[in-house]
Chain A
Amino acid sequence: EPEVTQTPSHQVTQMGQEVILRCVPISNHLYFYWYRQILGQKVEFLVSFYNNEISEKSEIFDDQFSVERPDGSNFTLKIRSTKLEDSAMYFCASSAETGGVLHGYTFGSGTRLTVV
Protein backbone atom coordinates (compact mmCIF):
# COMPACT_ATOMS: atom_id res chain seq x y z
CA GLU A 1 0.00 0.00 0.00
CA PRO A 2 1.35 3.48 -0.86
CA GLU A 3 2.91 5.38 2.03
CA VAL A 4 3.79 8.92 2.98
CA THR A 5 7.45 8.92 3.99
CA GLN A 6 8.92 11.40 6.46
CA THR A 7 12.55 12.01 7.32
CA PRO A 8 14.18 12.20 9.74
CA SER A 9 12.15 10.28 12.31
CA HIS A 10 13.73 12.25 15.12
CA GLN A 11 15.65 15.53 15.08
CA VAL A 12 17.26 17.39 17.93
CA THR A 13 18.21 21.00 17.32
CA GLN A 14 19.39 23.96 19.32
CA MET A 15 17.10 26.89 19.90
CA GLY A 16 17.47 29.47 17.14
CA GLN A 17 18.62 26.99 14.52
CA GLU A 18 16.83 26.32 11.26
CA VAL A 19 15.37 22.89 10.60
CA ILE A 20 13.92 21.32 7.48
CA LEU A 21 11.51 18.44 7.80
CA ARG A 22 11.07 16.33 4.71
CA CYS A 23 8.15 14.40 3.32
CA VAL A 24 7.49 12.34 0.23
CA PRO A 25 3.71 12.27 -0.35
CA ILE A 26 1.93 9.56 -2.30
CA SER A 27 2.76 10.10 -5.93
CA ASN A 28 -0.73 10.67 -7.39
CA HIS A 29 -1.98 12.81 -4.50
CA LEU A 30 -2.46 16.51 -5.12
CA TYR A 31 -3.17 17.88 -1.64
CA PHE A 32 -0.42 18.08 0.94
CA TYR A 33 -0.55 19.05 4.59
CA TRP A 34 1.55 19.59 7.66
CA TYR A 35 0.15 19.00 11.14
CA ARG A 36 1.85 18.98 14.52
CA GLN A 37 1.13 17.34 17.86
CA ILE A 38 2.68 18.71 21.02
CA LEU A 39 3.08 15.94 23.59
CA GLY A 40 -0.24 15.22 25.29
CA GLN A 41 -2.18 17.67 23.14
CA LYS A 42 -4.40 17.58 20.09
CA VAL A 43 -3.16 17.21 16.54
CA GLU A 44 -3.15 20.73 15.09
CA PHE A 45 -3.38 21.86 11.47
CA LEU A 46 -0.47 23.98 10.21
CA VAL A 47 -0.78 24.37 6.45
CA SER A 48 -2.28 22.91 3.30
CA PHE A 49 -0.67 23.02 -0.13
CA TYR A 50 -2.26 22.54 -3.52
CA ASN A 51 -1.21 23.34 -7.04
CA ASN A 52 2.22 24.53 -5.88
CA GLU A 53 0.94 27.09 -3.43
CA ILE A 54 -0.37 27.40 0.09
CA SER A 55 -4.14 27.02 0.08
CA GLU A 56 -4.73 27.57 3.78
CA LYS A 57 -2.69 28.11 6.92
CA SER A 58 -3.44 28.30 10.61
CA GLU A 59 -2.48 30.96 13.15
CA ILE A 60 0.40 28.73 14.22
CA PHE A 61 1.96 28.96 10.77
CA ASP A 62 3.62 32.33 11.20
CA ASP A 63 6.57 33.91 9.39
CA GLN A 64 9.06 31.48 10.87
CA PHE A 65 7.43 28.62 8.96
CA SER A 66 7.58 27.96 5.24
CA VAL A 67 6.74 25.07 2.93
CA GLU A 68 8.14 24.11 -0.40
CA ARG A 69 7.77 21.47 -3.06
CA PRO A 70 11.27 21.68 -4.51
CA ASP A 71 10.75 18.91 -7.03
CA GLY A 72 8.05 16.50 -8.17
CA SER A 73 8.26 14.27 -5.13
CA ASN A 74 9.40 16.10 -1.98
CA PHE A 75 7.39 18.41 0.28
CA THR A 76 9.30 20.24 3.00
CA LEU A 77 8.51 22.24 6.12
CA LYS A 78 11.14 24.74 7.22
CA ILE A 79 11.25 26.32 10.63
CA ARG A 80 13.53 29.31 10.37
CA SER A 81 14.53 29.95 13.97
CA THR A 82 13.34 27.23 16.30
CA LYS A 83 11.92 27.92 19.73
CA LEU A 84 11.52 25.55 22.66
CA GLU A 85 7.75 25.51 22.06
CA ASP A 86 8.28 24.16 18.55
CA SER A 87 9.13 20.80 20.10
CA ALA A 88 6.44 18.46 18.81
CA MET A 89 5.71 15.58 16.47
CA TYR A 90 5.27 16.93 12.96
CA PHE A 91 3.10 14.96 10.58
CA CYS A 92 2.93 15.23 6.83
CA ALA A 93 -0.18 14.02 5.04
CA SER A 94 -1.50 13.83 1.52
CA SER A 95 -4.87 13.29 -0.06
CA ALA A 96 -6.32 12.58 -3.47
CA GLU A 97 -9.43 13.98 -5.08
CA THR A 98 -11.93 12.42 -7.44
CA GLY A 99 -14.70 14.45 -9.01
CA GLY A 100 -14.30 17.23 -6.46
CA VAL A 101 -14.54 14.87 -3.50
CA LEU A 102 -11.54 14.47 -1.23
CA HIS A 103 -10.44 11.00 -0.28
CA GLY A 104 -9.21 10.16 3.18
CA TYR A 105 -5.85 11.35 4.36
CA THR A 106 -2.73 9.27 4.43
CA PHE A 107 -0.39 10.40 7.19
CA GLY A 108 3.31 9.81 7.50
CA SER A 109 4.78 8.34 10.68
CA GLY A 110 6.01 11.76 11.79
CA THR A 111 9.21 13.58 12.71
CA ARG A 112 9.75 14.13 16.40
CA LEU A 113 11.42 17.53 16.74
CA THR A 114 13.14 18.33 20.02
CA VAL A 115 14.42 21.87 20.51
CA VAL A 116 16.98 22.24 23.31
Chain B
Amino acid sequence: KQEVTQIPAALSVPEGENLVLNCSFTDSAIYNLQWFRQDPGKGLTSLLLIQSSQREQTSGRLNASLDKSSGRSTLYIAASQPGDSATYLCAVGGGSQGNLIFGKGTKLSVKP
Protein backbone atom coordinates (compact mmCIF):
# COMPACT_ATOMS: atom_id res chain seq x y z
CA LYS B 1 0.00 0.00 0.00
CA GLN B 2 1.39 3.37 -1.01
CA GLU B 3 2.43 5.66 1.85
CA VAL B 4 3.42 9.29 1.34
CA THR B 5 5.49 11.10 3.96
CA GLN B 6 6.41 14.76 4.10
CA ILE B 7 9.27 16.20 6.10
CA PRO B 8 9.38 18.55 7.88
CA ALA B 9 5.84 18.83 9.24
CA ALA B 10 6.37 22.53 9.82
CA LEU B 11 8.95 25.07 8.75
CA SER B 12 9.47 28.71 9.66
CA VAL B 13 11.89 30.84 7.65
CA PRO B 14 12.69 34.53 7.23
CA GLU B 15 11.60 36.21 4.03
CA GLY B 16 14.02 35.84 1.13
CA GLU B 17 15.33 32.39 2.02
CA ASN B 18 15.46 29.56 -0.47
CA LEU B 19 13.91 26.40 0.93
CA VAL B 20 13.30 22.76 0.17
CA LEU B 21 10.30 20.66 1.11
CA ASN B 22 10.63 16.90 0.99
CA CYS B 23 8.24 14.16 0.00
CA SER B 24 8.88 10.41 0.03
CA PHE B 25 6.73 7.53 -1.16
CA THR B 26 7.04 3.80 -0.60
CA ASP B 27 5.98 2.38 -3.97
CA SER B 28 7.95 3.68 -6.96
CA ALA B 29 5.32 2.48 -9.46
CA ILE B 30 3.62 5.86 -9.71
CA TYR B 31 1.76 7.49 -12.56
CA ASN B 32 2.53 11.06 -11.60
CA LEU B 33 3.22 13.31 -8.63
CA GLN B 34 1.65 16.65 -7.81
CA TRP B 35 2.42 19.42 -5.38
CA PHE B 36 -0.46 21.45 -4.00
CA ARG B 37 -0.82 24.48 -1.80
CA GLN B 38 -3.58 24.67 0.82
CA ASP B 39 -4.45 27.86 2.66
CA PRO B 40 -6.28 27.53 6.00
CA GLY B 41 -9.88 26.42 5.52
CA LYS B 42 -9.54 26.54 1.76
CA GLY B 43 -9.25 24.20 -1.18
CA LEU B 44 -6.15 22.85 -2.86
CA THR B 45 -4.31 24.79 -5.52
CA SER B 46 -2.24 22.73 -7.93
CA LEU B 47 1.32 24.01 -8.15
CA LEU B 48 3.23 21.50 -10.23
CA LEU B 49 2.52 18.16 -11.88
CA ILE B 50 5.36 15.79 -12.73
CA GLN B 51 4.57 12.81 -14.96
CA SER B 52 6.37 9.57 -14.10
CA SER B 53 8.62 9.94 -17.16
CA GLN B 54 9.77 13.41 -16.12
CA ARG B 55 12.49 14.46 -13.69
CA GLU B 56 11.40 17.98 -12.84
CA GLN B 57 8.98 20.81 -13.48
CA THR B 58 9.35 24.53 -12.94
CA SER B 59 6.87 27.33 -12.47
CA GLY B 60 8.13 30.76 -11.52
CA ARG B 61 9.97 30.50 -8.20
CA LEU B 62 8.96 26.87 -7.75
CA ASN B 63 10.87 23.83 -8.92
CA ALA B 64 9.82 20.26 -8.23
CA SER B 65 11.99 17.22 -8.85
CA LEU B 66 11.12 13.56 -8.97
CA ASP B 67 13.37 10.57 -8.35
CA LYS B 68 11.14 7.53 -8.77
CA SER B 69 13.81 4.97 -8.04
CA SER B 70 14.51 6.40 -4.60
CA GLY B 71 10.86 7.28 -3.97
CA ARG B 72 11.49 10.98 -3.44
CA SER B 73 10.37 14.38 -4.63
CA THR B 74 11.45 17.83 -3.53
CA LEU B 75 9.78 21.19 -3.90
CA TYR B 76 12.24 24.05 -4.07
CA ILE B 77 10.94 27.55 -3.36
CA ALA B 78 13.29 30.38 -4.27
CA ALA B 79 13.34 33.75 -2.55
CA SER B 80 10.45 32.98 -0.22
CA GLN B 81 7.81 35.62 0.51
CA PRO B 82 5.24 36.00 3.31
CA GLY B 83 2.54 35.20 0.74
CA ASP B 84 4.08 31.73 0.37
CA SER B 85 2.89 30.88 3.88
CA ALA B 86 0.55 27.90 3.53
CA THR B 87 0.53 24.13 3.84
CA TYR B 88 2.21 22.34 0.94
CA LEU B 89 0.88 18.91 0.05
CA CYS B 90 2.56 16.22 -2.00
CA ALA B 91 0.30 13.68 -3.73
CA VAL B 92 1.19 10.58 -5.69
CA GLY B 93 -0.96 9.30 -8.54
CA GLY B 94 -1.05 5.52 -8.56
CA GLY B 95 -2.99 4.76 -11.71
CA SER B 96 -4.25 6.04 -15.03
CA GLN B 97 -7.47 7.20 -13.42
CA GLY B 98 -5.46 9.71 -11.46
CA ASN B 99 -6.45 8.82 -7.91
CA LEU B 100 -4.09 10.58 -5.55
CA ILE B 101 -2.50 9.51 -2.26
CA PHE B 102 -1.61 12.54 -0.18
CA GLY B 103 1.02 13.25 2.38
CA LYS B 104 0.09 15.12 5.51
CA GLY B 105 1.79 18.28 4.33
CA THR B 106 4.43 20.75 5.39
CA LYS B 107 3.14 23.92 7.04
CA LEU B 108 5.33 26.78 5.88
CA SER B 109 5.53 30.13 7.61
CA VAL B 110 7.57 32.89 5.97
CA LYS B 111 8.22 35.78 8.32
CA PRO B 112 8.68 39.33 7.03
Contact = CB atoms under 8 A, between A and B. Distances in A.
B98 A43 contact: no
A45 B43 contact: no
Contacts of B99: 33, 45, 48, 56, 58
Given A43-B89, A43-B91, A108 B98 contact: no
Contacts, number: 61
Interface residues of B, number: 27
Nearest to A9: B41
B42 A110 contact: yes
A66 to B, nearest CB: 18
Overall SS of chain B's interface: strand
Contacts of A48: 97-99
15 contacts: A31-B98, A42-B103, A48-B97, A50-B97, A91-B43, A93-B44, A95-B98, A102-B93, A102-B96, A102-B98, A104-B48, A105-B34, A105-B100, A107-B44, A110-B42
Given A43-B44, A43-B102, A48-B97, 16 more contacts: A41-B104, A42-B105, A43-B89, A43-B100, A44-B102, A55-B97, A56-B95, A56-B99, A95-B98, A101-B51, A102-B96, A104-B46, A105-B34, A107-B36, A110-B42, A112-B41
Interface of A: 31, 33, 35, 41-45, 48, 50, 55-56, 58, 91, 93, 95, 100-110, 112
Interface of B: 31-32, 34, 36, 41-46, 48-49, 51, 89, 91, 93, 95-105
The 10 closest A-B pairs by CB, nearest first: A104-B49, A109-B43, A107-B44, A43-B102, A104-B46, A102-B98, A107-B43, A55-B97, A45-B99, A48-B97
